[in-house]
Amino acid sequence: MSEKLTIGKLAGATGTKVETIRYYEQIGLLPAPARSASNYRTYEGTHLRRLSFIRRARDLGFSIDQVRELMGLADHRDQSCIAVDVVANQHRDAIRRKIADLTALAGELDALIDSCSRNTVADCRIIEALAPSA
């Protein structure tokens, strides 16, 4: 049905910027489409589906390399999806670790901010905490 999209239409349909699409083509994430007589990129349904996949995975925080891996796995429909599960789990674990790190950080900052007497810089506990004990 809806074949032959310009890069702008594809961008609109997937919530991606035009420049980003060209970038994905450049790094080999999205296959290069055919060109019109005037050298415009002409995308098909396959591109739309592939880019949607990419966007969704990126929105979930997967790296470009992970997206590449997931797409490679998705293309072998007869194989086990345990490898897919592994990638997703690794990513989820990395996010959980990052959350833990940031939570610890926020706690430290809370303590720092609470200790601020809001007087002069000379006796500011925040500056003091950042400076060495000397």
Partner DNA sequence: TATGCACCCTCTAGTCGCTAGAGGGTCAAG
Partner DNA sequence: CTTGACCCTCTAGCGACTAGAGGGTGCATA
Binding site for a second copy (CB under 8 A): 48-49, 52-53, 56-57, 60-61, 70, 73-74, 76-82, 84-85, 88-89, 91-92, 95-96, 98-99, 102-103, 105-106, 108-110, 112-113, 116-122, 124, 126-127, 129-132, 134
Pattern 84-123, binding to DNA, x per CB under 7 A?
Answer: ----------------------------------------
Cα 111–113–118 angle (5° rounding)?
Answer: 135
Q: Which of the listed partners (a second copy, DNA, none) does 74 bind, with a CB threshold of 5 to 8 Å by partner kind?
A: a second copy
Residue selected from 18, 48, 87, 124 as contacting DNA according to rule CB under 7 A: 18
Among 7, 51, 70, 73, binds DNA (CB under 7 A): 7
Mark 83-116 as b/e (b = at least 16 C-beta within 10 Å): eeeebbeebeeeeeeeeeeeeeeeeeeeeeeeee
Residues 6 or more apart in contact with residue 23 via CB below 8 angstroms: none
Q: Closest Cα to residue 24, out of 10, 4, 38?
A: 10
- Interface with DNA, residue 52, by CB under 7 A: no
Residue type, 7: I
